[in-house]
């Protein structure tokens, strides 16, 4: 063992220590250099980028919804506008005791007590500085009542807003429609940028069909906020000057309808207390002059919001005021189709202008004892086709029905616009039905062959607008207009023009001719139109009382359609039936005969008689439009 061996190598340890110092210094210098380089990059080279990002965190873009366009009648009178209203709002962070505040507001009749749980949940779910709407529509009395109690409700105030307002309410509801809250499905089907900040859209009528034109385009504005998103009041010129300018919203276009407000209001009054519809149109271009369904509803309730109880009461109403009878309602057209069938019979040779039949009050098919009864039990005696229309003789049409044939009936009535959608510019429309042999085979496909077969008796019933036959009041108006023009049929429309609210520039829409009845014999047309004149002006016309003392010649046809079938051995006794089982009353007409300017279709549900109930309504409508109304005499 070497006793002189060194215990510690100071030289090696010193060299190792210096190496570690150098390595540490290098690493520290490298890290420091990286930090410095990153700082230089952030502060110098990327300064503009991050300054812009920080500005974005400070500035919030808020959507500004557009002002909805006006809806006006053909003379520029307002049917729908935007009206300032007030809603009650609460800012949660400014309310010390939310439950107590809501209870006291309910006690003051400013909110519904049943809404308190929902409002409490809404206040807790959102940001505490965002207002919560407590009552979307404050009446003047409520505003006054709250104003004197405002000191008792810190954090609660009323704020103005624009709501859709319909100055003529129920009279225009089914034609103009209404706006309502947009659903999730609605928002998925629209352009998001256009509807930013928008909570309502058109739901029915013109409001829905022309939503694109009426809505406009949303704008935006820049707001300076703090880190929590709260808007702050400060001098923002240094911030906002570096941003693009605010984009103002583009208002929706004003829509000019074809409606005549005077006619619309009159039709609404004439149907007051009834269930039914009135459609009036210009036969030469399809302009709808009046479109009324009764009973109606107040569209203002939808734009400002209604309570669940109010909405439930509307839905549960047995008269169904939300149902648009004029366009969606379908009814057996009854005898109103007889002029069209008469033309078809003449054109196909099923009858002629001199053929007479003896009406004994009933008709039977060969080898069949079933009696098809006329509305007049004692019969009409000897009648030709002109008499059969003027007096509405069912037996005459029973006799010629199978000579015309159901397929010819289908063909010609289709040309008059029956049994098909008119393509009116509304979202919903019923198709109606004019049956045919092909229709029945398809309708009852898969059943016993006997159920698919078309029977003679079904043709007989169809000849007076019963059986499978169904039509809407709008289709009947189109058919009446086509009679007025001697076969020219136009697509009905509710809108005639759009107007830019900023420039006043108008964009007109043209009318659309959609077909012509394939009957060119002018003598046939003149003869059948004269028969319709005799309905109102003839000595034996069914609606002669409605045509008394008329200042102009009118043409028309009454109709009465059964609500239920009467057995062969039974008699129809209206007095023993409840009101909703009475026959429907119908009437179609146009005037003046030599220069038609208006065609009208009227249906009064359970009105019993087209001549006594529906015809006077049509007469009043035509008087008003042609300048012979009571107040204009």
Reported as a single tens digit per residue, the pLDDT across 327-366 is 999 999 999 999 999 999 999 999 999 999 999 999 999 9
167: which residues sit within 8 A by CB, 6+ positions away? 78, 79, 81
450 against 538, higher pLDDT: 538
Residue 484 pLDDT > 80:
yes
pLDDT tens, 613-632?
999 999 999 999 999 876 44
- Give the pTM: 0.82
The pLDDT > 90 percentage for the chain reads 55
pLDDT tens, 494-535?
999 999 999 999 999 999 999 999 999 999 999 999 999 999
Q: Do 91 and 129 form a contact (C-beta atoms < 8 A)? A: yes
pLDDT tens, 574-603?
555 676 778 889 999 999 999 999 999 999
* Mean pLDDT along residues 33-52: 73
Q: Do 535 and 542 form a contact (C-beta atoms < 8 A)? A: yes
In this prediction, residue 33 carries a pLDDT of 82
Phi then psi for residue 183, to 5 deg, are -90, 170
In this prediction, residue 266 carries a pLDDT of 97
CA atoms within 13 A on the CB side of 252: 26
In this prediction, residue 632 carries a pLDDT of 47
In this prediction, residue 575 carries a pLDDT of 59
pLDDT tens, 288-301?
999 999 999 999 98
68 against 55, higher pLDDT: 68
In this prediction, residue 43 carries a pLDDT of 76
Mean pLDDT of the chain: 86
In this prediction, residue 490 carries a pLDDT of 97
Measured at the CA of 217, the angle between CA 211 and CA 221, to 5 degrees, comes to 145
- Burial label, 73 (beta-carbon count in 10 A; 0-12, 13-18, 19+): buried
* Mean pLDDT along residues 267-289: 96
Domain residue limits, the chain? 263-632
In this prediction, residue 121 carries a pLDDT of 82
Question: What are the start-end ranges of the E strands in 314-366?
Answer: 357-359, 362-363
In this prediction, residue 30 carries a pLDDT of 86
Q: Do 254 and 105 form a contact (C-beta atoms < 8 A)? A: no
Residue 159 pLDDT > 70:
yes
Residue 457 pLDDT > 60:
yes
The pLDDT > 70 percentage for the chain reads 87
Residue 164 pLDDT > 80:
yes
Residue 287 pLDDT > 60:
yes
Catalytic residue among 335, 357, 436, 611: 335
Q: Cα–Cα distance between 500 and 157 in angstroms, integer?
A: 36
In this prediction, residue 305 carries a pLDDT of 72
* Mean pLDDT along residues 43-71: 69
List 39's β-bridge partners, or say none: none
In this prediction, residue 120 carries a pLDDT of 83
Residue 458, helix vs strand vs coil: helix
Residue 402 pLDDT > 50:
yes
Structure tokens at 280: 């009036």
Residue 318 pLDDT > 60:
yes
Q: Catalytic residue at 335?
A: yes
State the chain's maximal CA–CA distance in angstroms: 159
87 against 197, higher pLDDT: 87
Q: Do 210 and 69 form a contact (C-beta atoms < 8 A)? A: no
Radius of gyration for the alpha carbons in the chain, expressed in angstroms and rounded: 37
263-632 under CATH 3.40.710.10, yes or no: yes
């Amino acid at each position: 063992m070497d006793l002189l061996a060194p215990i510690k190598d100071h030289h090696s340890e010193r060299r190792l220590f210096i190496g570690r110092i150098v390595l540490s210094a290098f690493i520290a210098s490298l890290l420091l250099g990286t930090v410095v380089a990153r700082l230089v990059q952030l502060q110098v080279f990327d300064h503009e980028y991050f300054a812009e990002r920080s500005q974005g965190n400070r500035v919030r873009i808020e959507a500004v919804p557009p002002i909805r366009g006006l809806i006006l009648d053909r003379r520029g009178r307002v049917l729908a506008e935007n009206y300032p209203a007030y809603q009650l709002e609460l800012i949660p962070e400014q309310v010390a005791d939310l439950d107590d505040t809501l209870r006291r507001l309910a006690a003051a009749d400013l909110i519904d007590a049943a809404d308190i749980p929902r409002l409490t949940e809404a206040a807790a779910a959102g940001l505490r500085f965002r207002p919560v709407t407590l009552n979307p529509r404050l009446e003047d009395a409520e505003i006054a009542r709250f104003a004197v109690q405002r000191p008792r409700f810190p954090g609660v105030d009323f704020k103005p807003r624009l709501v859709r307002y319909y100055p003529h309410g129920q009279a225009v509801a089914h034609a103009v429609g209404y706006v309502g809250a947009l659903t999730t499905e609605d928002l998925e089907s629209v352009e998001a940028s256009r509807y930013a900040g928008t909570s309502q859209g058109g739901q029915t009528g013109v409001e829905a069909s022309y939503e694109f034109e009426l809505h406009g385009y949303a704008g935006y504005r820049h707001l300076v906020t703090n880190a929590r998103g709260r808007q702050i009041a400060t001098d923002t010129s240094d911030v906002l000057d570096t941003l693009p300018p605010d984009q103002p919203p583009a208002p929706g276009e004003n829509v000019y309808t074809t409606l005549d407000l005077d006619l619309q209001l009159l039709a609404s009054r004439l149907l007051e207390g009834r269930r039914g519809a009135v459609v009036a149109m210009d036969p030469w271009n399809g302009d709808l002059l009046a479109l009324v369904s009764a009973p109606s509803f107040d569209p203002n309730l939808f734009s400002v919001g209604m309570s669940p109880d109010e909405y439930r009461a509307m839905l549960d109403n047995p008269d169904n005021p939300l149902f648009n009878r004029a366009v969606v309602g379908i009814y057996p057209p009854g005898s109103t189709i007889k002029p069209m069938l008469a033309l078809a019979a003449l054109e196909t040779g099923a009858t002629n202008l001199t053929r007479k039949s003896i009406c004994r009050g009933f008709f039977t098919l060969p080898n069949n004892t079933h009696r098809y009864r006329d509305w007049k039990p004692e019969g009409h005696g000897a009648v030709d086709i002109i008499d059969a229309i003027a007096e509405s003789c069912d037996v005459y049409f029973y006799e010629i029905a199978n000579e015309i044939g159901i397929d010819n009936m289908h063909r010609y009535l289709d040309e008059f616009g029956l049994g098909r959608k008119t393509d009116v510019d509304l979202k919903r429309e019923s198709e109606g039905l004019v049956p045919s042999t092909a229709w029945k085979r398809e309708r009852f496909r898969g059943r016993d062959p006997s159920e698919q077969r078309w029977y003679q008796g079904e043709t007989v019933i169809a000849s007076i607008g019963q059986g499978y036959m169904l039509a809407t009041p709008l289709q009947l108006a189109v058919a009446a207009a086509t009679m007025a023009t001697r076969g020219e049929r136009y697509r009905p429309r509710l809108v005639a023009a759009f107007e830019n609210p900023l420039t006043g520039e108008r964009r007109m829409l043209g009318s659309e001719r959609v077909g012509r009845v394939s009957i060119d014999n002018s003598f046939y047309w003149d003869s059948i139109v004269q028969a319709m004149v005799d309905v109102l002006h003839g000595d034996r016309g069914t609606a002669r009382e409605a045509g008394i003392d008329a200042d102009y010649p009118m043409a028309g046809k009454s109709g009465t359609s059964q609500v239920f079938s009467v057995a062969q051995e039974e008699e129809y006794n209206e007095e023993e039936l409840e009101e909703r089982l009475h026959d429907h009353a119908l009437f179609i007409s146009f005037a003046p005969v030599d220069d038609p300017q208006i065609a009208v279709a009227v249906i009064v549900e359970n009105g019993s008689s087209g001549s006594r109930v529906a015809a006077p309504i049509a007469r009043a409508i035509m008087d008003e439009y042609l300048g012979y109304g009571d107040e204009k005499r």
